[in-house]
Amino acid sequence: MSLQANITTQGATTFAQCGQPYQTLFRLSAGVPVSDALEYASDLLSCANRMTLLATHGDSTEQCAMAAHYLSEMGKAVIDDVTTALLRVEAGHDQ
């Protein structure tokens, strides 16, 4: 299936659990073209990859590891929401 411009994010995916009991802090925005969302996820994951590499060689290992954790959590949320959108289209549901 090709990524058509009219397929957009669903806004269903949440991330960043905080507090006791855990509550979700962030939710993806609906209506972003999936091609744009995937490009952004790629950028986030590229940064996370770089941070993990820096964490293995630098003095700021804890800070790099936490930054990579947050970046990868955001990237995963984008990919999960895009996957939801694509599966809905594949199943014949309206956006």
Cα separations (Å) of 77 from 30, 43, 52, 61, 85? 12, 13, 19, 24, 12
Select from 91, 76, 71, 82 the least CA-distant residue to 33.
Answer: 82
Residue 33's φ and ψ, nearest 5 degrees, are: -55, 135
Residue 67's φ and ψ, nearest 5 degrees, are: -60, -45
Domain residue spans of the chain:
32-87
The arithmetic mean of pLDDT across residues 39-66, rounded, is: 92
Amino acid letter for position 32: V
Evaluate whether 31 touches 6 at the Cβ level (below 8 Å): no
Residue 15 has pLDDT above 60, yes or no: yes
Residue 2's φ and ψ, nearest 5 degrees, are: -85, 150
Q: What is the pLDDT of residues 65-84, one digit of tens each?
A: 999 999 999 999 999 999 99
Residue 4 has pLDDT above 90, yes or no: no
Q: What is the pLDDT of residues 57-69, one digit of tens each?
A: 877 889 999 999 9
| Spatial distance between the Cα atoms of 49 and 9, rounded to a whole number of angstroms | 24
Please report which confidence band the pLDDT of residue 93 belongs to, taking 50, 70 and 90 as the band edges.
confident
Select from 89, 95, 82, 84 the least CA-distant residue to 42.
Answer: 82
